Chains A and B, each alone.
Chain A
Amino acid sequence: MAAAAVAVAEPKTKYDRQLRIWGDQGQAALEKASICLLNSGPTGTEALKNLVLGGIGSVTVVDGSKVEPSDLGNNFLCNSRVNKECLGQSRAQSVCSFLQELNDAVKVKYVEESPGTMIDTNPSFFSQFTVVIATQLPESSLLKLDGICRAADIVLVAARSYGLTGLVRVSVKEHCVIESKPDHFLDDLRLHNPWTELKQFAKSIDICDKDPVVHKHTPYIVILVRLAEKWADAHDGKLPSTRQEKREFKDLIRAHMLNVDEENYKEAVESSYKVSVTPGISTEIRQIIDDSSSEVNLSSSDFWVLVAALKEFIANEGNGDLPLEGTIPDMTSQTEYYVSLQKIYQAKAETDCLAMEHRVKNILKRIGRHPDSISRAYIKTFCKNARKLRVCRYRSMEEEFNAPVISEVQKYFADEDSCFAMNFYILLRAVDRLAANYSRLPGIFDSEIDEDVPRLKVAAVSVLSDMGLNGTSLSEDLVTEVCRFAGAEIHPVAAFIGGVASQEVIKLVTKQFVPLMGTFIFNGIDLKSQVLAL
């Protein structure tokens, strides 16, 4: 028994380092997700490896090929104790046996079938998955697959490694994020517009108390609320807005210091700009509430129902503001003052959330859904993150290929940083075009590299002219490089591309953080990689 106990890893402990990032909710979403991988070369298997380690629900590998000698040189998952044992075996099977070894909590399956055939003959196969990761697929297959996934509302992540370049592209109609968890975000303190309870609390503290201990433990929120009021009284009810006024406001704060080393006053000076923040709603959030999807009906998602409620809230209880987030940062203060402030912010957030809940119920009733069909926890998370909502919409591949936004493309070509990426993008598409004509990638044969360079250039020019970009010239060096690469899947490049693909899958599945908006182009030459929104 003791031996068996040793060999069991408690999920809480095993996943501790990632639970600290996406929490139990994020983990639960991962454990519910089913992922399909097309092609089990190193790019795809490295992506799956990362997801299996993190405890994804299930993975299904679709690959009809057998393990070849070259797989042993670039695919860690194909190798086994004695290399040759794997040779000739199904590549999907060989990869899956390693994946299963990594984490027995994950369901690992495989289908011995070529991805191209699967796309052509069995499109309904894909509807069972949360995300499809398509690796090393030519443009034509990808285009079909994108159509299939969009129709079934399945997230598609396309990844490709090609010599020292490669790409990752996300495609889904719409992806709404509540917990975007940005790195730096202004605290929601409402110092420019304090509500009654906050004002009353600030008034209850004498900021001119001569007791040095009390004075240096008055939280900066109180100092700023009081001094902003004082400032407004002397300036026709207006808060400091010009640079000169902001400087004078800081002087006013400093004038209230008893000692130069009072940390709370230093914090007040540093945070004084928070008094002058533009009130109301940011343009990003304004765009979301003005979106036509906020006109909800029975088929609207919970997210959009909440946005509809949010719009009403702003116009009514919110008085032009969003629901309060309800948390405050740590600041120099007596415990008692700080805890009281926390409670005041929490109480206001709860009041706002309650008002939102009320509006959500009414909207649900109006559109014919059960008023309790959206959980209180969901509404609470939404309110807490109302300032950070993100809606990501992706153009379909068909739109990208057939209706390029010329102005954007030209902008990328003109920009020094993204020009390189744009060249790679065109060349990777040109490679597929050339392959369609010659049934092989350019540069495959040493003897034909010299002829393939102009051939690839011709193919690239045809891609450009189809996009309406006649006369745009490509970098000769990059044309030659792409011919040199000959579609080689170099392990570290594949691990990088696969790593990025898995990272995006995690964000898309957990609905936390903000996924890649567009096509990520890897530049393995000097690593200056870019994202193109096409």
Chain B
Amino acid sequence: MASPDAEAPPPTEPERWRDLDILLSRPGNLVHATFQPSPGLRDDIGSFVEVLVVGAGGLGCELLKDLALSGFKNLHVIDMDTIDVSNLNRQFLFRVQDVGKPKAEVAAKRVMERVSGVNIVPHFCRIEDKELEFYNQFQIIVLGLDSIEARSYINSVACGFLEYDSDDKPIPKTAKPMVDGGTEGFKGHARVIMPGTTPCFECNIWLFPPQVKFPLCTLAETPRTAAHCIEYAHLIKWDEVHTGKPFDADNAEHMQWIYSEALQRAELFGISGVTYSLTQGVVKNIIPAIASTNAIISAACALEALKLVSGCSKSVLNYLTYNGLVGTHIKVTEFVRDTDCLVCGPGTLIELDTSSTLSEFIKMLEKHPKLLMSKASVTHEGNNLYMQSPEVLEQMTRQNLSIPMFELLKGASFVTVHVSGMAESNGNKVSSLRKLRVLFKGVEEASKMDTTESS
């Protein structure tokens, strides 16, 4: 390290941020209604805004850089993955020496090394491991993910903070905006989700159709393609041969075994095209990814984040798609909210008897047709009523199970609670979080009578 006092003084912040300040300090005609241009706006963003970046992969690395150079100074990044060699063609903050290290930690460190004044807190864990309140500290959540399940989870967390008034109108100050990006090869999307105003991820879930799976009978009886042979080895043959030993896609020996089995089967049926690379692609469901598309989509997301906090220009309404296969094709579509959305709406209504216990309530969630949620944990205004895990919390909250919900919720007639557990989605069990509005039968009438009397 060079000794600081021997050097020329570092540039002043206004000199350094000349270009950004032009945008933030000057009035304009095509800006957001809330825009208050001022030379201090960048400082305010730096001091008062905390942003969470979900994912430190292809999009996440770009997002951290873009946000750090857009005036944001307090960033957090969460990612459970470690760095793999195949990340290096696009995740520009990682080097070959970093392989095996946590993505979030390396990415945060690299950006902080290069952009002075920015603080990035890494979280090397699963998104489900964080308490809901963790997510509430951020003004914006930016998603750089490649999985539908993870998007869906964060979306439900962010939408869970949205409160509705007594007329079922969303309360704007409780809305937690999200900016979501995604890429696949030369294509990508960027969108702004303002819960309660624009459609949430779940409102337009049909934009992300589930992956088509091969019927098992095709794999077992009438294989025709290389992928059929690979999936046969992966989904049927592995378990037949390795009873009780789970298949691990990250284990090179396991992958090699699938490959040679698939090759044998392909030869048997006269099918061509089984390669090691295809085997990996099919088994791990690899999505092709390149640096340029990630850069384009992340840049759009970061720009939208800057607009959301500063108002320095209009926001995208509300879904951008980029397609680089033929030319550079950009389309912006204004999707509409699903007013019956289970996630960003006021919450699923559940009617309970005042005598129903917490344990009965949890059982009821398993059978509720809109929820089908098993192993639910229940919270109310940040308080844990019952937690399935960790064990300490389970023990602490276990005694609540036999207590009536009405009592636990302190005799309120109409209450919002959050439940999280496993729910069915496209035939898979996935982590799910739902907002419920609990109405106690018979109580509402009483309280209504009370109001009538008092008025």
Taking beta carbons and an 8 Å cutoff, which residues of A are in contact with B?
A: 6-10, 13-21, 42, 46, 49-51, 53-55, 69-70, 72-76, 79-85, 87, 101-102, 163-164, 168, 180-183, 217, 330-335, 338-339, 446, 449, 476-478, 480-481, 484-486, 488-493, 495-496, 498-500, 502-504, 506-507, 513-517, 520, 524-531
Task: Give the contacts of B174-189 with A (CB-CB under 8 A).
Answer: 185-186
B295 close to A527 (CB less than 8 A): no
13 A-B residue pairings within 8 Å (CB atoms): A10-B85, A21-B185, A84-B7, A331-B224, A335-B223, A484-B23, A491-B66, A491-B302, A492-B69, A492-B302, A496-B299, A526-B317, A531-B328
- Chain A residue contacts of B115, Cβ below 8 A: 76, 79
* Contact present for A87 and B11 (CB under 8 Å): yes
Residues in B neighbouring A477, C-beta threshold 8 A: 29-30
Most chain A Cβ neighbours within 10 Å, of B286, B287, B313: B313
Chain B 26-65, CB-CB to A under 8 Å as 1, else 0, gives 1111100000000000000000000000000000001001
Question: In the complex, how many angstroms separate the beta carbon of A81 from the nearest chain B beta carbon?
Answer: 5
Tell me the complex Cα distance, A72–B62, Å. 17
Question: Which chain A residue lies CB-closest to B67?
Answer: A492
Additional 18 contacts, C-beta under 8 A, given A18-B289, A53-B291, A84-B8: A13-B85, A19-B277, A21-B288, A51-B291, A69-B11, A70-B18, A72-B11, A101-B95, A331-B224, A478-B30, A480-B28, A488-B18, A488-B22, A492-B66, A495-B62, A495-B302, A496-B299, A503-B293
B2 to chain A, nearest CB (A): 6
Is the pair B16, A73 in contact by a Cβ cutoff of 8 Å? yes
The reply to whether A17 and B23 form a contact with Cβ atoms under 8 Å apart is no
Task: Give the distance in Å from the alpha carbon of A506 to the alpha carbon of B85 in the complex.
Answer: 22
* Contact present for A17 and B86 (CB under 8 Å): yes
What is the chain A residue whose CB lies nearest that of B116? Answer: A83
Of A70, A83, A491, the most chain B CB neighbours within 10 A belong to: A491
A residues less than 8 Å from B330 (CB atoms): 527-530
Which residues of chain B come closer than 8 Å to A491, judged between CB atoms?
A: 19-20, 66, 69-70, 302
Whether the pair B19, A70 counts as a contact (CB closer than 8 A) is yes
B2 & A525 in contact (Cβ 8 Å cutoff) = no
Closest chain B residue to A71, Cβ basis: B16
User: From residue 258 to 288 of chain B, which have CB atoms closer than 8 A to chain A?
Assistant: 269-271, 277, 280-281, 286-288
Contact A339 to B271, CB < 8 A, known contacts A50-B295, A55-B89: yes
Q: CA–CA, A444 to B445, complex, Å?
A: 67
Whether A492 touches B299, Cβ cut-off 8 Å, given contacts A54-B89, A449-B26, is yes
Known: A6-B99, A20-B281, A82-B1. A73 touches B18 (CB 8 A): yes
A159 to chain B, nearest CB (A): 12
Which residues in B have their C-beta under 8 angstroms from that of A488?
18-20, 22-23
Question: Do A7 and B96 touch across chains, with their CB atoms under 8 A apart?
Answer: yes
Which of B12, B89, B280, B287 meets A69, CB within 8 Å?
B12
B116 touches A524 (CB 8 A): no
In the complex, the answer to whether B270 meets A495 with C-beta atoms within 8 Å is: no
Q: Which of B69, B88, B116, B317 interacts with A76 by CB under 8 Å?
A: B69
User: Does B244 sit at the interface, judged by CB under 8 A?
Assistant: no
CB distance from A211 to the nearest CB of B (A): 15
> Could you tell me if A164 and B224 are in contact, using CB atoms closer than 8 angstroms?
no
Asked if residues A500 and B328 are in contact (CB atoms below 8 Å), the reply is yes
Closest chain B residue to A485, Cβ basis: B22
B271 nearest in chain A by CB position: A339
Cβ of B165 < 8 Å from any Cβ of A?
no
Find out whether the CB atom of A527 lies under 8 angstroms from the CB atom of B300: yes
Q: How far is the CA of A53 from the CA of B62 in the complex (A)?
A: 13
Do the beta carbons of A14 and B89 come within 8 Å of each other?
A: yes
Say yes or no: is B225 at the interface (Cβ < 8 Å to chain A).
yes
Instruction: Tell me the complex Cα distance, A50–B292, Å.
Output: 5
Residue pair A490, B23 in contact (C-beta under 8 Å): yes
Whether B20 contacts A490 by the Cβ 8 Å rule is yes
Answer yes or no: B290 CB below 8 A from chain A CBs.
yes
In contact, B298 and A495 (Cβ under 8 angstroms): yes
Complex CA–CA separation, A459 to B314 (angstroms): 27
Residues A514 and B327 in contact, CB atoms below 8 Å apart: yes
Instruction: Give Cα distance in the complex from A293 to B111, angstroms.
Output: 52
Instruction: Judge whether A335 and B296 touch: CB under 8 Å.
Output: no
Residue contact A83 to B22, C-beta cutoff 8 Å:
no
Q: Which of A7, A9, A17, A49 contacts B288 (CB 8 A)?
A: A17
Q: Which residues of A contact B303 (CB under 8 A)?
A: 490, 492-493, 496, 524
Judging by beta carbons under 8 Å apart, are B26 and A14 in contact?
A: no
When each residue 291-312 of chain B gets 1 if its CB lies under 8 Å from chain A and 0 otherwise, what string results? 1110110111011101000000
